[in-house]
Amino acid sequence: MEDYILTVKNLTKTFDDFKALNNISFNIKYGDFFGLIGPNGAGKSTLLRILYDIVIPDSGSVYINGFNLKRDYKKIKYGLGIVPQDDNLDEDLSVFENLLIYSMYFGIPKKESMKRSDELLIFFNLTDKKYSKVADLSGGLRRRLMIARALINDPSLIILDEPTTGLDPEYRQNIWNKLTVLNKNGVTILMSTHYMDEAERLFRNMIILNRGNIVLSGCINDITLNKKSLEEIFLDIAKNNK
């Protein structure tokens, strides 16, 4: 288990009588850039929400950084950065205040959190928006702030649920570049997307989920076997669901 930053074993989640996740198992190596792909309703967000302790699974186990999620989320959270699918920034506060308030959740001392916030604003080219109200930011800037916020505790693993959905090509590329730099600096990344060009470009390993099951997994060559593009594979899966 020490080789993996994240281990998921036999995870199942049912909503009423609907199986959103069916006996899912996979591992993520330290330093990986790991992708999660699948059509709408495949179970991606359910899986990610389980990993950041918003949804409780029916059965199965999760280990992050060697800690058991069920017992030790309080220890896990210090090493984890989270960018959920839905924007949950505080609208009425400034960009800077959003970062400072979030850092309190990790007990980071004020002086340190101000320093880290300033560094993150520089990294995400948000310095000129430091005192802007979040409500006044464009969608692309909000998304950058969501990622900046997820890094305030200097996590070893960041989990991002469709961080580039709805962004224009320039903003998408900007986020790819930032994530690539973070990954090169040793941060493990787990991220979902609907964009196959993004998946091909970023992910070293991935799983494809469909209707709560892992249908394909591995590196891009394992998945495509060099025969089809990821896009074609995705379309085949979606077509068979109809």
Ligand X SMILES: Nc1ncnc2c1ncn2[C@@H]1O[C@H](COP(=O)(O)OP(=O)(O)OP(=O)(O)O)[C@@H](O)[C@H]1O
Distance CA(229)–CA(39), nearest Å, equals: 16
By CB under 6 A, name the one of 7, 8, 33, 43 that touches ligand X: 43
- Residue 208 tokens, joined: 């494809």
Structure tokens at 231: 């896009």
Least CB distance from residue 44 to Mg ion, whole Å? 5
**Interface with ligand X includes 14 (CB under 6 A)?**
no
Q: Which stretch binds ligand X (CB under 6 A): 24-32, 36-44, 66-74, 224-232?
A: 36-44
Q: Is 41 in the site for ligand X (CB under 6 A)?
A: yes
- The Cα–Cα gap between 143 and 179 comes to 13
Which of 199, 201, 163, 75 has the alpha carbon at shortest distance from 216? 199
Instruction: Establish if 42 lies at the interface with ligand X (CB under 6 A).
Output: yes
| Count of residues in the chain | 242
- Distance separating alpha carbons of residues 147 and 159, to the nearest angstrom: 10
Specify the pairing of strand 157-161 against strand 59-64.
unpaired
Q: Which of 38, 57, 79, 84 binds ligand X (CB under 6 A)?
A: 38
Please, which residue, 50 or 175, has the CB nearer to ligand X?
50
Using the minimum distance from each CB to ligand X, give the nearer residue, 44 or 144: 44
Choose the one of ligand X, Mg ion, none that binds residue 43, judging by a C-beta under 5 to 8 angstroms depending on kind: ligand X
What span, in angstroms and rounded, lies between the C-alpha atoms of 105 and 92?
19
Q: For the CB of residue 45, give the shortest distance to Mg ion in the complex, in Å.
A: 3
Q: Which does 20 bind (CB under 5 to 8 A by kind): ligand X, Mg ion, none?
A: ligand X
| 45 vs 188 by CB, closer to Mg ion | 45
Residue 37 vs 108, nearer CB to ligand X:
37
Binding string to Mg ion for residues 38 to 77, with x set by CB under 5 A, is what? ------xx--------------------------------
Four-point Cα dihedral 34, 40, 44, 47, nearest 10: -170
CB atoms within 10 A of CB 77: 18
Q: To 10 degrees, the CA torsion angle through 92, 93, 99, 102?
A: -60
Residues that bind ligand X (CB under 6 A): 15, 20, 38, 40-46, 85
